Amino acid sequence: MSRVPLPDASEIVEAAPQLFESLAVDDLYAARAMDGLYASLPIELREFAILATARYYDAEYEWHQHVGVAREAGVDPATIRAIGGRNFEKLSEPTRVVVKGVRAQCAGRFTDDHYDALAGHYSTEDIVALSMLVGHYTGVGQFIAAMDLPLESEFVGWLPED
């Protein structure tokens, strides 16, 4: 049984027809529409969730790309290093429950306990968007690995300097 109410697909189409029209028109618009799915999440939350996903899979490309974005978004460098070093006890409680939830989802072991811990800090909408974000970046990381895309510059490392 679903942990969250499932939306009526016709209501989604009615409320945001541009998402579906743009998907048929141009890949650029499709990318913008997909980004909009996560726009409700605070950028700091998005970025440390992306970093947690990248670190779970040891996805250097994603990690490398998002360390700078996370810094610009205001993610504390200590949080970045804690995720990179897998020192989760150093994280604040809200950040720690996100990282634990991300890791559980990546492992295919997300439970009601993870959902409840997240719900103590975030709305249902945020939890849904977060889960979709993790799924998206899991796929992106797998694609990058499958395509063996090289880094454009030297890897920043799992414990990047400020």
CA–CA separation, 48 and 67 (whole Å): 9
Q: pLDDT tens digit string along 72-108?
A: 999 999 999 999 999 999 999 999 999 999 999 999 9
Contact 111, 104 (CB under 8 A): yes
Go through 115-125 and write b for each residue having 16 or more CB atoms within 10 A of its CB, e for each that does not: bebbbebbeee
Total domain count, the chain: 2
Q: Residue 33 is part of which domain span?
A: 8-37
Per-residue pLDDT for 38 more than 70?
yes
**Are 27 and 63 contained in the same domain?**
no
Q: Quick check: pTM over 0.85? A: no
Judgement on whether residues 69 and 87 belong to the same structural domain of the protein: yes
Residue type, 46: R
H/E element, 55: helix 43-56
Kindly state whether residues 135 and 91 are assigned to the same domain. yes
Which residue is it, tokens 């996560």?
Answer: 38
Tokens found for residue 8: 């009526």
CATH code of 67's domain:
1.20.1290.10
